[in-house]
Amino acid sequence: MIQEIETALLARVKAIMAPHGFAVEALPDNPDSFALANQRGAVLVVNKGSRYEAPKSTDRPIQDRTLTYELTVLVRNLRRHDGAYEVIDALAAGLAGWRPQGAMSGTRLARDGFVNRDAGVWEWNVTVEIPVLLFPTPPKAAEEWAPIESITAKIGEETITTTFPGGAPAGPTPRTPAAGAQALQSGEALLSLHPDAAPAEEEVASGQI
């Protein structure tokens, strides 16, 4: 999610900055070594983390997640401090309300401000927030199975019902008629069956489960 949103954000910022002749790229691994080769300026994009809201429901722990991205604006201007103003205004206008694929709603501008001036290069930061939804990874199938309270099977001419107090825990299913009969008669069968997919009596009797 973070990488996909960042890739879309980079493309959007490049389109906004194209008329201004600014370079746009992701923040390099070593920002201190970054050299402003472009004579006018550059915009560097980096993810600064996320903010999470409380889950919407205990049954389905889906959370609101806000991704925060920082845009570092570098403007080369030996005499004036206002060279970044036009660029910051363009970024604000072009990003406010923009909704990349995967976002829950439009981009929000959080803040901007002056950071530093070094050797004629003015540095400003623009912070944007992009709201998304966090969906938990679906559990494995075995974790979704509800415990089985009882099972009835016909083995030969005999019908056997086994009850599991508190529900049978998940576990291996007998694979042979003899093993199935023994497990059912002992009342210690460990079943890994979804309650909606319980076997037919014939399957139990033949050892197909």
Mean local confidence (pLDDT), 31-54: 83
Q: Which residue has the tokens 């199975």?
A: 145
Pairing of strands 150-155, 158-163: antiparallel
Q: pLDDT tens digits, residue range 101-148? A: 999 999 999 999 999 888 788 899 999 999 998 877 766 555 555 566
Q: How many C-beta atoms lie closer than 10 Å to residue 61's C-beta?
A: 12
Mean pLDDT score of the chain, rounded to an integer? 75
Q: How confident is the model at residue 195 (pLDDT cuts 50, 70, 90)?
A: very low
Q: How many C-beta atoms lie closer than 10 Å to residue 127's C-beta?
A: 15
The model carries a pTM of 0.62
d(CA 169, CA 191): 7
d(CA 36, CA 53): 38
Architecture of domain 2-134: 2-Layer Sandwich (3.30)
Amino acid identity at 34? F
Do the Cβ atoms of 9 and 45 come closer than 8 Å? yes
Q: Is the pLDDT confidence value at 180 over 50?
A: no
Domain ranges of the chain: 2-134, 141-206
